[in-house]
Structure 1
Amino acid sequence: MEGMYSPTRDPKIPAEGKSAAFAHWVSGYYAHSPSLLSSFPSVTLDELRKGIAEAPIRDPPPNRVPSVVNMSAEELAEITDPAVITRSHPLYYNVDPALCKENLDAALLDASTCPRLRVSLVWCDMSPPETVMSTWYLARQIQDLWPSNARKIDVVRFEGANHFPHWDEPDRTMNLLAKLI
């Protein structure tokens, strides 16, 4: 997202350090403004930008350390590919937004394909800023601009969860997902 920090775009981080920086950044816990979270997605873009925490919680309590801190080297190696950060992730920033919109529209606006498909947008309210902002954009569209014949989407806030709730709180995550089925 333009104007938002990501270690993958930080020229001060050498290529060999981007993977570790990204892992801590993406799995950290962010203390976004409570008023932003309680009014989500009705806040304006300016209010959103002012209320988003730009960095993970400093000196977090044990239950809010970045998820990767609680992973052994073996576990981290099993679930990640550090080369992606330098090989593939930069391409993500060059994808034409029109292509993303076209795919999103095809999947969500045309309810004639798989008409009984239920969709839930689960957003974790302590996730990195880019994730919260992306969720806001879609939730805002659903709230204000969603065509009546489009697929129904339930927007579900997962309170106190970061980008890796399945790792940090598997039981709570499974309970939430089970309620959505």
Structure 2
Amino acid sequence: MASPPEDQKNPAALSILQDSGPPEGSTDYTTVVLLHGFAWHSGIFAKLVPLAHAHNARVVLVNRRDYPGATPFSPEERSLLSAIATESASSPESDAAAADAHAQLEPFMRSRAREVSDLLARLVHDANIPKSQREANKGGLVLVGWSFGTVWMTAFLAHAPALHAGEGEGEVDLTQYLRRVVLLDPPYHVLGFPPPPDPYNPLFDSSIAPADRARAFAHWVSGYFVHHTDALDSTSASPSERERPAAAALERRAYLPSPPPTLSTLTPDEVARALYPSPGAPGGSDALLLAGGMRSGTFATLRDEALAVPADEGLRAVEVRHVWCDRSVWETTWTSWNLRWMFEEARQKSERLREVTWVKLQGANHFVHWDEPERILVALLTDSVEKY
């Protein structure tokens, strides 16, 4: 297993936690770059690294700002997030407050998108990444954001600093390398979709003692659920006709006893190598961004801009893929249905959206990369997909 290049061991805006290195002798390998979710950093993807070379792939695990190895947010950035979250919470029904928060978060997320593109440019420049061969489904970069990390993907696509990144001799035209951007099992709120009735989450369950809620949440979010959505009609014209039965088909609370919740199977050492709770704790940067992004409508705006047809031909050639695990927590199944409705409504109105491909992983849960690492690696690399 290769170590990160020397210049990548130092803290950077985004930090490379682990890198499988290129498969020996390959000139057309695919580099999969993964960004983690909320509180669980990219150590949770560690099982993919030893599988990479067998699939002619290089796997690069990346930690976001405020997570181990990456640059902490500055006092000014933290103050901004705190002010946005506070204003949004104190005036939840105020259009003016939402608009103000949105105006402040837009440049903040543009900067996050720039950090992603600069990291990719550094990889291409320093590591001699093969160019994309889209027709052959080889080479290039596959960029993946899991769960809350999906916000970085929509920001990246929306703001598109992806075209020319880096500076001076390190400037790179990423359209020659970027093959695919993957939204990996995102919950509905990070794409700005409204919740269904009774949006259950153990963190807010008053019947659970406050001291026990974090543990209950860990089991719940990594459980296996059976949702009854197969017979639902995604083409119903009326929102009420489609949303009520879809919401009723979601299992919100009761996960299966077997397989057990993924996080209940991790050893303390495995948890220590992947969990970093402070950004997700009250007042943490992820917690503040989640609150402000939802209430201000910023996440919805990023979604709409990310799924709009790009003006740039090079960016239009980049595939956007949604990977959905159908036994995941209800929040991600609700995302899948909202995306279907969004594309169906656009067709009915003769509006164009960016084409999105999707892969449904039957029987998989939100932590598929831990329970079935080879399966998710194949899903990220495969060219066998369906389309919205």
TM-score interval for Structure 1 and Structure 2 normalised by the shorter chain:
0.7 to 0.9
**What root-mean-square deviation, in Å, do the aligned CA atoms of Structure 1 and Structure 2 show?**
2.5
The residue correspondences of 1:140-179 to structure 2 (distance < 5 A) are: 140-145=341-346, 149-179=352-382
Q: Distance in 2 between matches of 1:93 and 1:131?
A: 18
Q: 1:71 and 1:65, CA in 2 relative to 1: closer, same or farther beyond 3 A?
A: same
Q: 1:23 maps to what in 2?
A: 218
1:148 positional shift: 5.1
Structure with max Cα Rg: 2
Listed one character per residue, the Cα deviations across residues 3-55 of structure 1 (whole Å, up to 9, x for unaligned) are 2110122234344333222111110000111xx13547457111111111122
Q: Is the 8 A contact 1:67 1:164 kept in 2?
A: yes
1:129 positional shift: 1.1
Listed one character per residue, the Cα deviations across residues 48-86 of structure 1 (whole Å, up to 9, x for unaligned) are 1111112243432xxx21111221111112222234244
Q: 1:16 and 1:103, CA in 2 relative to 1: closer, same or farther beyond 3 A?
A: same
The runs of 5 or more residues in structure 1 that have no matched partner are: none
How many pairs align?
A: 176
The higher-RCO structure (CA 8 Å, 6+ apart) is 1
1:123 positional shift: 0.9
Residue 333 (structure 2) pairs with residue 132 (structure 1)? yes
Q: 1:58 and 1:155, CA in 2 relative to 1: closer, same or farther beyond 3 A?
A: closer
Q: Read off the aligned partner of 1:53 and give its amino acid letter.
A: E
Q: Is the 8 A contact 1:8 1:85 kept in 2?
A: no
The runs of 5 or more residues in structure 2 that have no matched partner are: 1-194, 237-241
1:162 positional shift: 0.6
Q: Distance in 2 between matches of 1:97 and 1:155?
A: 28
Secondary structure, aligned partner of 1:156: strand
Q: Distance in 2 between matches of 1:11 and 1:86?
A: 17
Q: 2:248 maps to what in 1?
A: 50
| Stretch moving more, 97-106 or 145-154 | 145-154
Q: 1:121 maps to what in 2?
A: 322
Q: 1:80 maps to what in 2?
A: 275
Alignment counterpart, residue 11 of structure 1, candidates 194, 206, 214: 206
Q: Which has the higher helix share?
A: 1
Alignment counterpart, residue 67 of structure 1, candidates 243, 262, 275: 262
Q: Which has the higher strand share?
A: 2
Q: Read off the aligned partner of 1:133 and give its amino acid letter.
A: W
Q: Is the 8 A contact 2:359 2:379 kept in 1?
A: no
Q: Distance in 2 between matches of 1:140 and 1:37?
A: 15
Secondary structure, aligned partner of 1:122: strand
Task: Please give the TM-score of this superposition, normalised by the length of structure 1.
Answer: 0.83
